[in-house]
Amino acid sequence: MMTTTTKLSANILEFKFELANLPIQIPSIRYPPLQYNNLSMQDFTGEFKVMNDFLQGSDMEDESDDQNSGKKSVLLPQGFEYRATFKCHRRNIFTKVNKQVAETQLVTDFSHYIVAGETVLLHFMSDLLLKRHSDSVLNGGLQCLGEALISNLFCQQCPSQSSSFLKSLDKRVLEIYERIQKAVNERLQSIQQENYKQPLDNAAEDVESVAYTGHLLSFSILMINGCGVEAYFNVQKSIKLAFELHVNLIEKTLMRPQPIITFLQSNLHHNILNINIASYYPQFLFEIESNLRSLEFIFNASASISDVGEVKQKFLNLQSQYLRLMKFLREKVLTIVFSMRNEQLVTTYPLNEIYKVFKEWHRLCPSYAMAYSPKSPKSNSRYYDEFEFLENLSTTLYIYYYAIAVSLDAIFPACKYLFNLGFILPTTGKLKEKDILTVSKYNRFSKTYFNQRIDGMLQRHICYASRVFAFFKRRFIFYNNHTSWSNYYDNITSANRFDTRKITNVKEVPIHSFSTTLIRPEHYPTRESLAEQSKPSFISFNREDYLMAKNSYGRNIETLDIFNESVLLQCDYDSMLLLKDYRPLDDCLRNTRGLLELTDIRDYYEDKYLIMSTLTNV
């Protein structure tokens, strides 16, 4: 290949390429030349627009009074110009929901998690919010949710405030909730009495507005101190009635379903699936509490850890979040996981107890954990080591929050069926990045303050908690991808409604200790062989593991001791597991089911209503 260059001007350099001695025939045609112009600061107008080849003559004069505005660009012989224009569109923040957007965003995509499902509820509400921006009921639901969140956050961060002031906040939010719930009931009653005599579009929007408000109130109740399961049940009755009115309207007029129906169709199959997953054996929770307790000497360090206000306040926030988490585990969870466990009951645990744990969990979870995005301290900061230590401590604590969240989902799978939500937290996904999960070594502050190096210990706690999170995440993925059912509610009667519904043809060996157990193929759910199945079922599990089928997994004799500092840990940050752990390849979440039918949703609401009304005596 030969090149020649010809200088055309001070700003243009021409390259010519000739292909020679090639084993193939090249057509003898003239190829168009390519021209690249360098830009300098003199090539920009006063408005900082590029003076390109197309802004010449009068066009350029309109753009700028610059003295170079009229200069001509030099083109190569036989060169040509191609004008490209780009228009910036300012899209409205509220967008319509099409079928692609409505497809279920699966549960582990935490960026798509709000209020009652995995797809963003506000996407479905957007058009109605714009059209009925003065709707007092819908606006009241948004106000109630906002004030409930703010009130709960204030109580978390300012526990030293007088009890009378905190009670006044709770009272205000409770009054808003009662007012909006009353308005919801009145609107539903009005719709029933009018029997759709008003224009169909107005009737459909009224019903949809009530349904959205009900979903907003159902999450608000979790944040309101003093609202028990009875209040939640009353809101669910309103949502159920709104759905029935909407379906009647669809059947009567053959109108298209409103977006709220699509929201339910794309989300509720997760609820139906969860009540059929067996509750995980809870022994490992005691190990989690014990491991967290081993960090007590760090979080209970003197408040004089620093005289710098920002450093001190951040440490006090972490200390408060740690103490609340420990109290929650000891008083709300560990006291019931064995004493109230009944594996023959459809919910495994009493419904009231599930609600107490569920409500307390969402009230104590710090917003810092959900929006955690560690920032490296400024290198020239006087307190660089202090801030670096606090970032490492924050990562350790928050990864434990995520591990406990997925653990509670595994132990209380019926929670999502009954309350539309699980325990899992929405996050930014930052805690999956290697740089964040790696503790800074040789931090001078922690070594001096605690008279020992704790970076290695924190790293092992992060490794432990991330393994718990990753394991239960994959466990749910396998259930989601490999569970199928047909005519689900046809098989539920008054005689078996409160009996366990766990899938019968699945086997998995529970892990009692994540500190000392390598994760192996048998720890994940797999299909039981046909010879071992007791009876046919309308819901079945079909995952097989080729290593188990061939009995060829080679790490069955290896052992583990995560917190033994003499043992080298090798972590795979992509999977959040150890290199020695079994890391299955088929762990990508798939949407294996289509949208639910309206009859399925109706049966779901009816079944949930009967379970809640019986088990809560309301």
Residue identified by tokens 């766990």 is 502
Query: Can you say whether the dihedral through the CA atoms of 270, 271, 272, 276 is positive or negative?
Result: positive
How is residue 530 written in tokens? 């046909």
Count other C-beta atoms under 10 Å from residue 26's C-beta: 8
> Do residues 497 and 346 make contact, with C-beta atoms less than 8 angstroms apart?
yes
56-70, 132-146, 277-291, 345-359, range with the lowest pLDDT? 56-70
Q: How confident is the model at residue 131 (pLDDT cuts 50, 70, 90)?
A: confident
**For residue 247, which amino acid is it?**
V
Q: How confident is the model at residue 399 (pLDDT cuts 50, 70, 90)?
A: very high
How is residue 279 written in tokens? 């509750």
User: Is the pLDDT score of 336 beyond 90?
Assistant: yes
Sequence-distant (≥ 6) Cβ neighbours of residue 557 within 8 angstroms:
none
33-37, 264-268, 511-515, 535-539, range with the lowest pLDDT? 33-37
How is residue 309 written in tokens? 């206000």
> Do residues 278 and 528 make contact, with C-beta atoms less than 8 angstroms apart?
no
Can you tell me the distance from the alpha carbon of 541 to that of 479, in angstroms, rounded to the nearest whole number? 7
162-166, 453-457, 529-533, range with the lowest pLDDT? 529-533
Residue identified by tokens 């009493």 is 350
Q: Which of 408, 415, 403 is nearest to 354 (CA)?
A: 415
- Model pLDDT, residue 545: 81
How is residue 427 written in tokens? 């996050």
User: Is the pLDDT score of 337 beyond 70?
Assistant: yes
Backbone angles phi, psi at 19, to 5 degrees: -90, 130
pLDDT in tens, 219-274: 899 999 888 899 999 999 999 999 999 888 888 877 778 788 888 887 888 888 89
For the chain, how many residues are written? 618
Beta bridge partners, 7, equal 13
What is the rounded average pLDDT of the residues 361-387?
Answer: 78
Q: How confident is the model at residue 31 (pLDDT cuts 50, 70, 90)?
A: low
Rama region for 6: left / alpha / beta (φ>0; ψ in -120 to 50; rest): beta
Beta bridge partners, 16, equal 4
User: Does 299 or 20 have the greater pLDDT score?
Assistant: 299
What is the rounded average pLDDT of the residues 442-458?
Answer: 83
- Model pLDDT, residue 512: 96
Q: Which of 337, 344, 243 is nearest to 284 (CA)?
A: 337
User: Does 372 or 78 have the greater pLDDT score?
Assistant: 372
> Do residues 278 and 506 make contact, with C-beta atoms less than 8 angstroms apart?
yes
**For residue 433, which amino acid is it?**
E
Can you tell me the distance from the alpha carbon of 390 to that of 314, in angstroms, rounded to the nearest whole number? 8
Can you tell me the distance from the alpha carbon of 522 to that of 553, in angstroms, rounded to the nearest whole number? 10
- Model pLDDT, residue 591: 73
> Do residues 224 and 174 make contact, with C-beta atoms less than 8 angstroms apart?
yes
pLDDT in tens, 556-615: 567 889 999 888 888 888 888 998 998 887 777 777 677 888 898 999 999 999 999 887
> Do residues 361 and 324 make contact, with C-beta atoms less than 8 angstroms apart?
no
Sequence-distant (≥ 6) Cβ neighbours of residue 100 within 8 angstroms:
none
> Do residues 578 and 571 make contact, with C-beta atoms less than 8 angstroms apart?
yes
Task: Give the DSSP per-residue string, 30-74.
Answer: PPPP-------GGGB-TTS-B--TT--HHHHHHH---TTTTPPPP
Backbone angles phi, psi at 192, to 5 degrees: -65, -40
Question: 451 by DSSP, 3-state: which?
Answer: coil
Backbone angles phi, psi at 87, to 5 degrees: -115, 130
User: Highest-confidence range of 115-124, 302-311, 487-496, by mean pLDDT?
Assistant: 487-496
- Model pLDDT, residue 292: 97
Q: List Cα–Cα distances, 186 to 175, 189, 195, 199, 210, in angstroms.
A: 17, 5, 14, 19, 10
Using the CB atoms, write b or e for 244-253: b if 16+ within 10 Å. Answer: bbbbebbeee
Q: List Cα–Cα distances, 134 to 121, 137, 209, 476, in angstroms.
A: 19, 9, 12, 41
Sequence-distant (≥ 6) Cβ neighbours of residue 553 within 8 angstroms:
520, 521, 547, 582
Beta bridge partners, 578, equal 571
Q: List Cα–Cα distances, 613 to 6, 230, 233, 606, in angstroms.
A: 88, 9, 8, 11
Question: 578 by DSSP, 3-state: which?
Answer: strand
Measured CA angle at 535 (ends 533, 536), to 5 deg: 100
Can you tell me the distance from the alpha carbon of 518 to that of 511, in angstroms, rounded to the nearest whole number? 9
What does the DSSP 8-state code read for residue 425?
Answer: P
Can you tell me the distance from the alpha carbon of 56 to that of 49, in angstroms, rounded to the nearest whole number? 13
User: Is the pLDDT score of 110 beyond 50?
Assistant: no
Residue identified by tokens 């001791």 is 561
How is residue 81 written in tokens? 């110009």
- Model pLDDT, residue 382: 78
- Model pLDDT, residue 12: 56
Label residue 10 exposed, middle or buried (CB < 10 Å: 0-12, 13-18, 19+).
exposed
Can you tell me the distance from the alpha carbon of 205 to that of 224, in angstroms, rounded to the nearest whole number? 28
pLDDT in tens, 73-108: 566 666 656 555 544 444 444 444 444 444 434 333
- Model pLDDT, residue 214: 92
Using the CB atoms, write b or e for 494-533: b if 16+ within 10 Å. Answer: eeeeeebbbbbbbebeebeebbebbbbbbbbbbbbeeeee
User: Does 44 or 502 have the greater pLDDT score?
Assistant: 502
